[in-house]
Structure 1
């Protein structure tokens, strides 16, 4: 019986394959490093890109079956980050307007003419009523707390308005106090 060299050849190929893989990874990492060095980037820039929402607000106010609320008179340190209106959804007609507050916490105005409890649960990501209220702008808003978002909720006959987010309660109340359903557009 002779040795045909199969075992030695297989072991040698295994080491060669591992070595080739390590060399390939080093070449890839070197390429990534070069790209990182030569592409300009500034980590001090604010990653939040503020938006304007005047046109969406006007359009939503024309189309919605309820008065659309948007803030008026918020300081410039509040930055709008997202806006959308859906006339038909599984939650009814839905209005969303998202902000970053002065401390870079998220806050949003959410409105719907759909089933209130289901809508509130969805937009607050499962926040629960606390049994407490907060008077904002002369109205009693229900307080909700949750693992992700807290909220102030105003349930009316034709619409449920929710001010929710990671922002502290005082910021949520500031946003709620600035809400108007008038024809004046908000900052944006």
Structure 2
């Protein structure tokens, strides 16, 4: 027994015992959070900045759908110098949904790129308005597209059609800011 308590082997055994004790403590006694933590990102400033940056009337949600968490927002540069607004959400079912808008031309190419598909699979009525449905199976991505004369609206993500429709139903035009 003496050879395991002296020299190099003693050191190895002592380190192993200490690491085993730490491991047992971490597994059974260390506090662990099982709570979901999705960061909430306020998009009001981003929407206001986008509204000032573009020459057309923008659209934005009047409120967040119940139980949804806004978790990302950005203004990006699109093709041909167009600006693109992205507002991302974790839905109540904890799927992903994004509202995107731009005046990028041509609107069909913008919609194709945002939907990752050019295949229209149907239509969906949202608040009395018809939206185009697109679906990309390998990504489980559903997309609603509405092309208006001066802007294209896209609601896309892994959320189901009903959840995407919920977000689309809350979209309303925003007045341009006064100088």
* TM superposition score category, shorter chain reference: 0.7 to 0.9
1:127 CA displacement: 5.9
Q: Is the 8 A contact 1:65 1:93 kept in 2?
A: no
What CA RMSD, in Å, does the superposition of the two structures yield over aligned residues? Answer: 2.6
TM-score normalised over the length of structure 2: 0.74
Q: Is the 8 A contact 1:127 1:146 kept in 2?
A: no
2:121 pairs with 1:116: no
Unaligned runs of 5+ in 1: 1-22, 184-188
Aligned positions of 1:18-57 closer than 5 A? 30=19, 33=23, 40-42=31-33, 44-57=34-47
Q: Which residue does 1:15 correspond to in 2?
A: none
1:122 CA displacement: 2.3
2:119 pairs with 1:128: yes
Runs of 4 or more off by more than 6 Å in structure 1?
none
Unaligned runs of 5+ in 2: 1-11
Deviations 1:129-185 (A, max 9, x none): 11x2112122211111112211110011211100111111011111100001225xx
Aligned positions of 1:41-120 closer than 5 A? 41-42=32-33, 44-86=34-76, 88-90=77-79, 92-114=82-104, 115-120=106-111
Q: Which residue does 1:159 correspond to in 2?
A: 151
Deviations 1:52-82 (A, max 9, x none): 1111111111112332222113344111011
1:99 CA displacement: 0.7
Write the distance in 2 (CA, Å) between the matches of 1:159 and 1:98.
Answer: 19
In the alignment of these two chains, the number of paired residues is 154
TM-score normalised over the length of structure 1: 0.71
